[in-house]
Structure 1
Amino acid sequence: MRQINKRWTQKGLALGLALTLSVSLAACGKKDNKEAADTSKALATYKGGEITQAEFDKFMGVNKVLDPQMASALESPEYKGFIEKQMLTQEAVLEILSKEATDTAKTEGEKKATEYLEPIKSWDKTQKDSFDQKLKDAKITQKDVEDYFKQTFVVMADMDAKVTDQQVKDDYDKRLKEDPHFYDIVTVRHILVSTKDPADPEGKKVLRTDEDALKRAKEVQDKLNKGGDFDALAKEYSDDPGSKENGGKYENQSVGNSSFVPEFTKAMAELPVNKVSDPVKSDYGYHVMRVDTRKTETLDEKKDEIRSTLGQSLINDFMEKKLPDYEFKSNLPEPSMPAAPETSAAPGAGASPGASAAPSASPSAEPSKK
């Protein structure tokens, strides 16, 4: 089941909305009686409420604007029914939990939503026009987006309030016990000597043999150990287009939430500071690495994020274990389970934070695994 949008729990709610929202309200056209009648039918019912076609259309419209990856997946007949079924369940969960939220959570959630949306008032005409067009294409208004955020923040505020300080501490301690580097934040440099051609979108074209790549990586390692400049050597040798012009640097990377390939993440976590690594082999070639800084985030620094993560777990538990008590019933056709999408062997750059049913990988030579 597609998880309740995990983006809600990320620090700063990294939904991409702050880059694109418009302050102007999209005009809401009038509907004739026939259309109103068509959209008034209940797509889902639950104890104490229902979700009409019109309500679901708005919910999906907002999510398509906020998550272009999901919008793209909905174009595929193979995935459309599956995604809509899951999203209808999510909308029901949001409605139920927002209605049951405490007055304190409702006040706090609506306040947070208002504060989060406040920066859109300073946007220029280009930003406003761009988002207005997206709203128009999705057949929603900005009020629909605002209502969605208010409902979401209310639910998260209510769930977060149910998480105790002791539960937060226990989770922090558990993570550290399982992996002492989990909360490490690292600034790392690397020079990738690739065996695959980064210009190949399929990630299959061979750039050089493994033997040649290792020889070149050792040459880089030797030059660095003799005092060579990392910035200059990265520009000369690195096959990672995402970092070579920046001295191979990736700043403030979380070990516990790393999107890098496992070999790279392990070296990033364990390599002594300011030591040039031996060539680290991954599926994409050899990485010559150096950790510039490493620090462990404290409980105080992580507590809000941990609380949100645990609050998200409460939502998931409700969906899986308690929703049946509300006699939730979907009137959408039962979709067939879509086949798992094929993924490229090459790593992808900058995957969208929203988990869609049909993610696509964009190949690059970065040490990313997604």
Structure 2
Amino acid sequence: MWHNKSKSTWRSLVLLIAAMLVVMTVAAGCGKKNETNGEGNKGAGQGDKSAVIATYKGGQVTEAEFDKYASFFSLMNPQYGMLVSIPQYKEQFLKEFIGYRLLSDKVSDKVKEEVGKQADEFEKQLTEALKTNEELKKILEPSGLTEKEARDFYVLVFSVMKNAEESVTDAQIKTEFEKDPEGFTKVQVRHILVAFEKEDKTERTDEEAKKRANEAKDKLKGGTSWDEIAKEYSDDPGSKEKGGLYELKEAKTYVPEFKDASLKQPLDEIGEPVKTEYGYHVIKVEKREAQSVDKLSEETKAALKQQVSNESISKFMSDELPGLIEKIDLPQPPSDEEKDGNAKDQAPDNSGKENKDDAAKNNSSK
């Protein structure tokens, strides 16, 4: 909850795709992932969707293709899919689709083959899930997205990401590490989080939270155990049943204020409450272990690799892609006046009925 949040759009995309796989695993009873080269085919969409809505150097996108691409992402997260209905997000999403297509031309055959094996599993899993999961069917039906087309989009997205990761060099990893070497220091801490206002459904004000945090600090300094104080005072579900303990973690995984305290606060001392966006933290730093780039864990190296590759994709999308797009021509949503006009046109005309009712009343009174 109070750990650092990722700023990368592309890392969020990876997480969303992972979330989709979890959803489908539950739906199908078991499962994994799958492949292809990623251009949605025209399918059973509603009405004529063959209009070209974007042109770029080397290709074009039809409305049907884009609708299917949006359906693919709705498989992962319905809220993400809903964003596509908002005009400004829709255009950005369309540009990213074009970017993926252009980047896919640079993907190595080796990566395509590897992702293809995953994609085969993904398609099988999706096919099984659709036999019993009505919610998945509802996501796919409006655009006519097929399992094969979903597989193609899977390959389009994952092969670009994997190719970018495999292109990252040791020198780039070192450069990324050296941006914040201290942040890779492993720290072991105990802490009490006293939340305020919205956090954890508490109603405390900032002042009340600070007062409660100082109470916890004073009791700890007075000899009360961390186990007892954490259970009574802490609003952090991840550590309150463990005496507030977080074992060795890289300092950069925490929000800035907490990270700073974990690196600067004297060891084995209970510091003054530290305020973050989540509340007040009473912190005791028990250990610090500095790391060099050549001693990083494989997990950390993989995360750095992904971070560098995400930045590479993002840079292409922001710097190069605009010059490769020739035209965007998305259908415009109806204005409020048009909506009102359509509503009036569709409203039933009861004037004839009213005249007949009046005539019937007159006849009955004679």
| TM-score for the superposition, normalised by structure 2 | 0.68
Residues 237-256 of structure 1 mapped to structure 2, 5 A cutoff: 237-240=233-236, 243-250=239-246, 253-256=249-252
Return the match for 1:87 from 84, 89, 93.
93
Offset of residue 292 of structure 1: 4.9
User: In structure 2, do the counterparts of structure 1 residues 199 and 52 end up closer, same or farther at CA, with 3 Å as the change threshold?
Assistant: same
Offset of residue 92 of structure 1: 0.7
Structure 2 gap segments, 5+ residues each: 1-6, 32-42, 334-366
> Which residue of 1 is the match for residue 344 of structure 2?
none
Residues 136-285 of structure 1 mapped to structure 2, 5 A cutoff: 136-139=138-141, 140-176=145-181, 180=182, 182-194=183-195, 196=197, 198=199, 205=203, 207=204, 210=207, 213-240=209-236, 243-250=239-246, 253-258=249-254, 260=255, 262-282=256-276, 285=279
> What is the alpha-carbon root mean square deviation over aligned residues?
4.0
Q: Give SS of 2:175's match.
A: helix
> Which residue of 2 is the match for residue 347 of structure 1?
none
| TM-score for the superposition, normalised by structure 1 | 0.67
String of CA shifts for 1:119-170, please: whole Å, max 9, x gaps: 969x9x8x9845x523433434444433222212211232233332222222
Aligned length: 307
String of CA shifts for 1:337-368, please: whole Å, max 9, x gaps: xxxxxxxxxxxxxxxxxxxxxxxxxxxxxxxx
String of CA shifts for 1:223-266, please: whole Å, max 9, x gaps: 323442222212212344665445444566543243x3x32332
Distance in structure 2 (CA, Å) of the matches to 1:229 and 1:99 = 60
Distance in structure 2 (CA, Å) of the matches to 1:277 and 1:228 = 15
User: In structure 2, do the counterparts of structure 1 residues 153 and 215 end up closer, same or farther at CA, with 3 Å as the change threshold?
Assistant: closer
- The one-letter code sitting in structure 1 at the alignment partner of 2:275 is K
Which structure has more relative contact order (CA 8 Å, sep 6+)? It is 1
- Does the 8 A contact of 2:193 with 2:234 survive in 1? yes
> Which residue of 1 is the match for residue 81 of structure 2?
71
Distance in structure 1 (CA, Å) of the matches to 2:185 and 2:136 = 39
Return the match for 2:327 from 326, 329, 336.
329
> Which residue of 1 is the match for residue 363 of structure 2?
none
Offset of residue 60 of structure 1: 0.6
Offset of residue 108 of structure 1: 3.1
Query: Which protein has the bigger helix share?
Result: 2
